[in-house]
Structure 1
């Protein structure tokens, strides 16, 4: 069983940051017009990452001016990636929200002509465990109910996600389906949208029957009663107010999927600017303000910066490529 669990890297990551981490103090670079690109429409995980981290950067006085957030949807993040590589390669004021969806698309060659080495990977701000949910008024009440419905009539269930076909939201459904005993996961009907917010809107409108996303993007809709979480793809129940959500494992489906959240920067960014932004992200992560945001939104610890993060992304790309070949998404 191939699973994605961010926890084994915690100790190594903390050590790497402690030894080789960055500090924003005494650096030659200082940002002027800071910008964060969220490679999707408003309401999804990348938008959440840009807006929350951008606010923290300004509130903590790490940057002198508010961070402009630009939504650049398209191609499961590919439009933004290409724009950064081809048009803004030397922009020292630019950071871009990224996640497991980004490394997944890179692993599958879904950003034509682009590779992970064309940008500089800054750091993470936590891990966001996957969820599978349905509308609040759905008669489906467990992950096993959903999987049984798919087994009996695959055409009766469409699952929406905020990544492209073959992307991370899609892969989470396939991992769960495989663990539930569905031999041919290609029978799963997955509908791709530009961001988790749009996918949830389609779920609430009755256009699809289930949603694959992450706990941070689902939380607001759960609080409003619009959706209900069938399962969290975590090894154990999440802490605090999230402990009410059952895991897939509790329901006899051994599926785990952790979505890292972080940032990359243009490949031509100067070393001073890169050191500043890697340090800035690390400083936000270490702050009490960010700890509160993590607790409120179900983010779990994952602290990677600089070279340690670069190595982590390379590993994720290799693992995702292997999984994608296994289930026939790529050759």
Structure 2
């Protein structure tokens, strides 16, 4: 039949068939099996395979000396993640004291981004950025907040042989002579322990600027100073005092919580119970570098939520007198913005704002 057609007509027919075939392919004709696109339910698996984080050991930094709240928090996080095998890489804790966390944060925020170096912090990351003297140009916005894990409360303590047995008698003496007693804390002037220390005095009508405050690099050093008789009073976080209360080495005069705490501090009255309208919530959270990679951020979003739900972690909370107060990365970010405003107002009231 084709022999009856001129040669140029045959060529035209073949060209037309080829054109139709190409158009059909372009408009969605089935492709060979080996080139078929993956099904939509395969996408999560493909994404998981693409992420290799973590590929090396993790470091969790406590921006203070050993023995304080940051150190205990960092070591507890590392301990539980290791014991539960939640992270398939070694986790170590480093102490980087100085300026109530300001020295480390300056180095961390201005240095090379490292998704494998995280750190714990609490209100000082806000306070150091907002206070007038010795302030830090860096704050939480120079990091990636990953999760809030716990909350603690401020406490006022004295040595076991102190003459003071309640907050009111201590404040009465301070009111008569604000320079009579030396108060210690594990952070710089104007930072968290300082605010914990002077807040009840301020609420009691005492000029906070006249109170003698001595700062140490971490709650552990401040406790040592109290036990050694180098200072008269300690302002710190309640949870760090547990072992010293049990050992009979100190007396806790008051806690800055709305209600009494449990454990070894169950008999300690709140500041409000003693007529001093003061509360101080010490939240603690974990942070990563600013502009953290999406893979690393998602990894910690998932694993820190699992940490919070783990029974091993819950036992550690109880052992340390910590209260669980988990906030995801997004929730934590919003919370920090609110806390920044509250602390700015507190510093302004004390004349310590930037």
TM-score where L is the length of structure 2? 0.82
CA distance in 1, matches of 2:301, 2:69: 20
- 1:199 is aligned to 222
- 1:16 is aligned to none
1:179 to 197, 203, 206: 203
- 2:244 is aligned to 221
CA distance in 2, matches of 1:115, 1:105: 8
1:130 to 140, 149, 154: 154
CA distance in 2, matches of 1:108, 1:181: 21
Instruction: Classify the secondary structure of the residue corresponding to 1:138.
Output: coil
Aligned residue runs from structure 1 range 110-129, under 5 A? 110-129=134-153
Work out whether 1:320 is the aligned partner of 2:343: yes
Whose radius of gyration is greater, 1 or 2?
2
CA 225–66 in structure 1, closer or farther in 2 if over 3 Å, else same = farther
- 1:254 is aligned to 277
CA distance in 1, matches of 2:324, 2:268: 19
TM-score where L is the length of structure 1? 0.88
Work out whether 1:188 is the aligned partner of 2:211: yes
CA distance in 2, matches of 1:71, 1:277: 21
Per-residue CA deviation, residues 198-257 of structure 1 (Å, 9 max, x unaligned), is 001001111110000011211122122221100011111113443122111111112111
Aligned residue runs from structure 1 range 261-300, under 5 A? 261-300=284-323
Per-residue CA deviation, residues 114-168 of structure 1 (Å, 9 max, x unaligned), is 2321110011111011110001111111111111111122221111011110001
- 2:265 is aligned to 242
1:307 to 312, 319, 330: 330
- 1:95 is aligned to 118
Stretches of structure 2 lacking an aligned partner (at least 5 in a row): 1-46
CA distance in 2, matches of 1:113, 1:178: 27
CA distance in 2, matches of 1:163, 1:113: 17
Instruction: Classify the secondary structure of the residue corresponding to 1:155.
Output: coil
CA distance in 1, matches of 2:191, 2:215: 9
| 8 Å Cα contact 2:147/2:328 also seen in 1 | yes
1:46 to 70, 73, 89: 70
1:26 positional shift:
4.6
CA distance in 2, matches of 1:214, 1:117: 25
CA distance in 2, matches of 1:68, 1:151: 46
- 1:148 is aligned to 172
1:94 positional shift:
1.4
- 2:80 is aligned to 56
Indicate the larger mover: 41-50 or 285-294: 285-294
- 1:12 is aligned to none
| 8 Å Cα contact 2:129/2:137 also seen in 1 | no
CA 217–29 in structure 1, closer or farther in 2 if over 3 Å, else same = farther
| 8 Å Cα contact 1:107/1:318 also seen in 2 | no
CA distance in 2, matches of 1:106, 1:223: 36
CA distance in 1, matches of 2:306, 2:266: 28
1:330 positional shift:
2.2
CA distance in 1, matches of 2:48, 2:258: 41
CA distance in 2, matches of 1:111, 1:264: 20
CA distance in 2, matches of 1:226, 1:240: 16
Per-residue CA deviation, residues 162-215 of structure 1 (Å, 9 max, x unaligned), is 111000111122221122232x22122111111000001001111110000011
CA 53–237 in structure 1, closer or farther in 2 if over 3 Å, else same = same
Counting matched residue pairs gives 305
| 8 Å Cα contact 1:55/1:66 also seen in 2 | no
Per-residue CA deviation, residues 63-111 of structure 1 (Å, 9 max, x unaligned), is 123311111111210121112112242x111110101122221232655
